[in-house]
Structure 1
């Protein structure tokens, strides 16, 4: 099998895996809604955090690991922890540039710049979401697609998928229309920051570049 054919097969497998992830993610939302009718502790706090963390591990991370193995890439290669100067510079720099769009308005309005409350929702926003989403989207999906496409094309496709990953949650929370039509903070904003996460991960040759940029974006 030629390298080009192998890359195309990897891209096709990646698309099919993402379709399966989306179906399973919708199923996770439907399951939680049904379970909440009898298990009220799942609605918020620790119960909700445990449910969604477990769901993301099963629905996002397990397929991400499988995709990495299908592409012949190791965790050491994807995370590139030894390449910390690059991912700290690219992830930190891009993340801070994105964060300024939140820091400056908050300062001008006299609002708190940093989170003022430590809870499970914040843990999800600052740790679980950046790590899990970047491993799936940048580490597995974008990494696989760049074997077949240019960085620009792979990044755009991955960022569109990143937006789609949020759609079930928006729908079940009743904010789908708002997020699809609101240019600030909605689907367009998520698409644009996703492009930056993808660029940070690529330039730093480490998914940690995307994780750090994602963390800083969510922090501010």
Structure 2
């Protein structure tokens, strides 16, 4: 499938529909972050903690569309069991990103510490659910839909740019961008490279679970170092 850059015709999403899906998703996520998130957090803290809105906007529509295509979601998304090779990829890539987090902390001059006693909100949203919600949409769904039209490398590049851009509404709405230009560029580069590597991990292992595990471990390290 990946070698030719094309999927079976029955799973090929109409190009206009794919573009529309991306535009609508980005628009809704931007509106939510700037106009809804702060109110939702105050009025429904429990639901906010469990990231209900992200599950509704990022994950549920993917399963609904695959149901419309009459495809088995777990098969279409490559939510297959992890093989021995997949375990090796998960361990090696996770260690790479954990090491990067540690080195990055030292380079920017912050105190080096590793604290797992951070807020429940970060555990639920930033570690447990983040890999599931983000990998389902970007690697499991969009990467494969885009790769139905172009070769894998270019599809992975486009998906990674989209993955970078989707972080901006949250960064800007919550004023979370780093102060200096150097740190901004470093953050953007990391998000982009992370996404590119995740795409190749999916290609090599044929299991989205490997990507989900890596994503969650990376965020665990980031939260523990920043706790």
Q: TM-score, normalised by structure 1?
A: 0.80
The answer as to 2:37 corresponding to 1:32 is yes
User: Which residue number in structure 1 is paired with residue 138 of structure 2?
Assistant: 137
User: Which residue number in structure 1 is paired with residue 87 of structure 2?
Assistant: 88
Residue 126 of structure 1 and its aligned partner are, at CA, apart by 0.9
SS state of the match for residue 101, structure 1? helix
Residue 89 of structure 1 and its aligned partner are, at CA, apart by 2.3
SS state of the match for residue 162, structure 1? helix
Counterpart CA distance in 1 for 2:69 and 2:161 is 21
Residues 187 and 110 (structure 1), Cα distance of their counterparts in 2 relative to 1, 3 Å cut: closer
1:87-141 Cα offsets, whole Å, 9 max, x none, are 3222332222122112346689872235332522122111111110000100010
Q: Mean alpha-carbon deviation: is it higher for 145-154 or for 112-121? A: 112-121
Superposition RMSD on alpha carbons, in Å? 3.0
Give the structure with the larger helix fraction: 1
Residue 26 of structure 1 and its aligned partner are, at CA, apart by 1.8
5+ residue gaps, structure 2, are 1-6, 222-227
User: Which residue number in structure 2 is paired with residue 61 of structure 1?
Assistant: 59
Residue 25 of structure 1 and its aligned partner are, at CA, apart by 0.9
1:59-99 Cα offsets, whole Å, 9 max, x none, are 11122223434666423322443343343222332222122
SS state of the match for residue 185, structure 2? coil
Residues 7 and 65 (structure 1), Cα distance of their counterparts in 2 relative to 1, 3 Å cut: closer
8 Å Cα contact 1:68/1:140 also seen in 2: no
8 Å Cα contact 1:79/1:206 also seen in 2: yes
